[in-house]
Structure 1
Amino acid sequence: MAIATNALDEIRGLLEGEGSSAERVANLRKAFPGLSLTRCDAGDMDTETPILETAGFAVYLIDTSEHCVRITTQPEAATGLILAEKR
């Protein structure tokens, strides 16, 4: 499932929405049911550059189309997201 560029705006809006971080992630899962989502601590991603950031999350795109998962900056190649929560 590629991520459309305009979907990044929707993802940002959902992550900046009302509610706890868990509720915002749940809303994102509902809005994008076919998208792989992995949640971690922001410190786990300190050597990568996020595709977008909100006050509570740094968001990274992942490509799982090959044998190994890799970070990508290309939405058209992305099959999922890593949501690194800032604490």
Structure 2
Amino acid sequence: MALSHERIDGIAALANRLFAEGGRLDDVARAVRAANTDLKTVTTAHASVMAEDPFREEAGFDLHLVDGNNHCWVITDKPELATGVVIAQRDAED
């Protein structure tokens, strides 16, 4: 499964809206999962622990794409390989 740029835009818009409404990271992930049931991976992290550059930087979080096509999933910058996302929340001072 590939993630189109439009779909990535939709995921980012949903997460942005929920964070702006005061949503917590786990609530945002739950909503993204519910709206995208076909994704293999929707998980969270704190941006400070992510070693890879994000695919996209938003106001309070980074969006990483996940390639889960093999046994282990890896972060990718290729939407055509993406099967999921990591929503990595940044600290207020980042």
TM-score, length-normalised on structure 1? 0.84
Residue number among 37, 48, 51 corresponding to 2:52 in the alignment: 48
RMSD: 1.5
What's the counterpart of residue 76 of structure 1?
80
Q: Which consecutive residues of structure 1, in runs of 5 or more, have no partner in the other structure?
A: none
Q: Which moved more, 1:24-33 or 1:52-61?
A: 24-33
What's the counterpart of residue 10 of structure 2?
10
Alpha-carbon deviations, 1:45-69, whole Å to 9, x = none? 0x31111122221111111112232
The 3-state SS of whatever aligns with 2:64 is: strand
- Which runs of structure 1 show a deviation greater than 3 angstroms over 4 or more consecutive aligned residues? none
Task: Give the percent of matched residue pairs that are identical in Structure 1 and Structure 2.
Answer: 36
